[in-house]
């Protein structure tokens, strides 16, 4: 009997928590197919990296898909939010905002960060996508592994 926590497709997905994104529908997934990690902006945080390492090393995933999207609320948001919260509440957060100004540029940086992570396996199977949530509904791959090597 296989471990039910092991994703059938050996896939981990990192995406935004935006309610308009349905990773199962976008990728044709069924329950048990993949680990799906969601946070504001689909940011590559320390906790996301920790979860991906556990997903790969203990639960057998091999491919990682990062899905960002158009119209993301994290676009244009910066660390000033933390200052505003500190002024309001009287203490500082223990987390970063992880906002960005360039959707594709930030996705490319996230791909590079994961591909360079020494604790992740199969870094050639890390893919990035932009989901056009506002117009076309298309999922477009960006930053393929060969593309990044050629640009370096």
CA distance 110 to 123: 12
pLDDT tens column, 33-83: 999 999 999 999 999 999 999 999 999 999 999 999 999 999 999 889 999
* Choice between 86 and 143, residue whose per-residue pLDDT is larger: 86
| Structure-token pair, residue 71 | 């119209």
Q: Write down the pLDDT at residue 144.
A: 79
Q: Write down the pLDDT at residue 149.
A: 44
Alpha-carbon dihedral angle through residues 125, 121, 43, 20, given to the nearest 10 degrees: 50
Backbone angles phi, psi at 98, to 5 degrees: 65, 40
pTM: 0.89
Average pLDDT on 105-133 reads: 94
Q: Which residue matches tokens 């960006």?
A: 142
Please tell me the class of the 11-151 domain. alpha beta
Q: How far is CA 70 from the centre of its chain?
A: 14
- Interstrand relation of 139-142 and 126-131 (parallel, antiparallel or unpaired): antiparallel
Q: Write down the pLDDT at residue 143.
A: 85
Please give the share of the chain, as a percent, with pLDDT higher than 70. 92
Q: Which residue matches tokens 């990192």?
A: 14
Coil/strand/helix, residue 71: coil
- pLDDT grade, residue 5 (50/70/90)? confident
pLDDT surpasses 80 at 132: yes
What is the overall mean pLDDT for the chain? 91
Tell me if 63 sits within 8 A of 125, measured CB to CB: yes
CA distance 53 to 131: 25
CA distance 56 to 37: 13
pLDDT surpasses 60 at 95: yes
């Amino acid at each position: 009997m296989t471990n039910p926590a092991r994703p059938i497709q050996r896939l981990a997905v990192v995406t935004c928590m935006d309610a308009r994104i349905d990773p199962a529908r976008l990728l044709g997934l069924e329950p048990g197919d993949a680990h799906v990690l969601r946070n504001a902006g689909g940011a590559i945080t320390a906790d996301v990296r920790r979860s991906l390492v556990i997903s790969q090393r203990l639960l057998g995933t091999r491919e990682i898909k990062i899905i960002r999207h158009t119209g993301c609320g994290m676009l244009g948001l910066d660390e000033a939010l933390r200052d505003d919260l500190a002024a309001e509440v009287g203490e500082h957060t223990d987390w970063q905002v992880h906002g960005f100004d360039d959707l594709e540029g930030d996705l490319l940086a996230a791909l590079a960060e994961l591909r360079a992570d020494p604790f992740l396996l199969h870094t050639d199977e890390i893919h990035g996508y932009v989901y056009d949530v506002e117009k076309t509904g298309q999922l477009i791959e960006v930053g393929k592994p060969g593309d990044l090597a050629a640009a370096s």
